[in-house]
Structure 1
Amino acid sequence: MKIDLSDYSRGAGLASDLVNSAPEVRRVSGELLVDPDALARFLAERDLDPRREPVAEDLLRVLELRRELRTVLDAQDEDAVAEAAGELVRRASTGPVLGRDADGRWQWQVETAPSASLADELAVLAGLGLLGALRALGHERFRACASPECDGVFVDTSRAGRRRYCTPDLCGNRINVANHRARRRERG
């Protein structure tokens, strides 16, 4: 896998999405990554193409990575984030190379070792994304979901930096619906 160093939002988004796929976050729907096929769909939805179809061992390793990423996103100290994300990158990266992007422009990229597991490739992508977000946006963009019914966390890579929910379509909609119903009750 080649990872473009200029696109930290993809890796930070992966880290956020992976952490928020856990049953302790998705209390209503439960575990999102229930089997290797669910993991394959999760990756496809994020335009990630593994070298082969995920198997049970890949799922177990990705679930362990998810726990590690939760620890990184929950870290209150930015030095701890930098150290832990750096460890994720060192798992399977072979170092930076200069390569062409899809438009033929030269970009710094990090390659993963050909023998890297799926979880290690995802660790490198997520780690680079978290390091890039920390450097470009600051630790204050590592946030907990504002929904009182959610334990999700995320990295706000939005331009304005005002994102409040780990999954805006889910948590944000729940809050909006609850507020709408409360206003209707008040009006009678």
Structure 2
Amino acid sequence: MDIPLIDYPTGATVATDLVNTSPTVRTDGDGLPTPESLTEFLAEHGLRLDAVTDLAPTAEDLFQVHLLRREVRGILETETEDQAIAGAHVLTRRAALAPALRRDVEDRWQWHVPTAPGAPLADELAALVGVGLLGVVRVLGHGRFRACEASGCRGVFADTSRAGRRRYCMPERCGNRVNVANHRARQQVRSVVR
């Protein structure tokens, strides 16, 4: 796998989405219960990891990704920038090789981080996530690692939005739940006022 450094939001998005597949966050159980669900997760994110080019993820791959999910959550919950950087460095070292300068499709020089040939799926994913989280801290700051604001949610995320105002780990789920609750509360107030 070859990870472009300018594409740190991809790694940060994968980090957020991976952490929020946890049964700790989801009320409907584990979001990655089977190797097939891991295949779907990788496809949804457009990830073509070298470890699964010709093979489907195994139960062992899934187990290792579940362990990675805990590590990533720990990084997103760090109290300091230095802790976040140290954690992300640990992830990148699992499969990443030295950065390389290569021309992109528009013939511009870009930094890339390749992964080691034969690296396991979880290690390649760790390198991608590590590079993404390092990019978030470098470009946007550690303050972009946040906890979900939805009541009762234990989700965390890396906010890579331009404005930096994201409030929910899964806007389509938590944000919608909050909006529905607020709407119902307004409706209740209106019915009492009448």
- TM-score exceeds 0.5: yes
Cα distance in 2, alignment partners of residues 31 and 61 from structure 1: 15
Alignment correspondent of 1:9? 9
TM-score by length of 2: 0.93
Number of residue pairs matched? 187
Percentage identity across paired residues of the two chains: 57
What whole-Å deviation, never above 9, does each CA across 1:131-155 have from its counterpart, x for those lacking one? 1100111111110000012100001
Gaps spanning 5+ residues in structure 2: where? none
Gaps spanning 5+ residues in structure 1: where? none
Runs of 4+ in 1 over 6 A off after TM superposition: none
Q: Who wins on radius of gyration, i.e. which is larger?
A: 2
Alignment correspondent of 2:58? 55
Cα distance in 2, alignment partners of residues 104 and 178 from structure 1: 51
Cα distance in 2, alignment partners of residues 75 and 166 from structure 1: 16
What whole-Å deviation, never above 9, does each CA across 1:1-56 have from its counterpart, x for those lacking one? 000011111111111110010001002x1101000000000111000123232111
SS in 2 for 1:94: coil
Alignment correspondent of 1:177? 180
SS in 2 for 1:38: helix
Displacement of 1:103: 4.7
Cα distance in 1, alignment partners of residues 37 and 115 from structure 2: 24
TM-score by length of 1: 0.96
Cα distance in 2, alignment partners of residues 101 and 42 from structure 1: 27
Cα distance in 1, alignment partners of residues 123 and 96 from structure 2: 9
Cα distance in 2, alignment partners of residues 104 and 38 from structure 1: 37
Counterpart check, 1:117 vs 2:120? yes
Alignment correspondent of 1:23? 23
Output aligned runs, 1:34-113, within 5 Å: 34-50=33-49, 51=53, 52-113=55-116
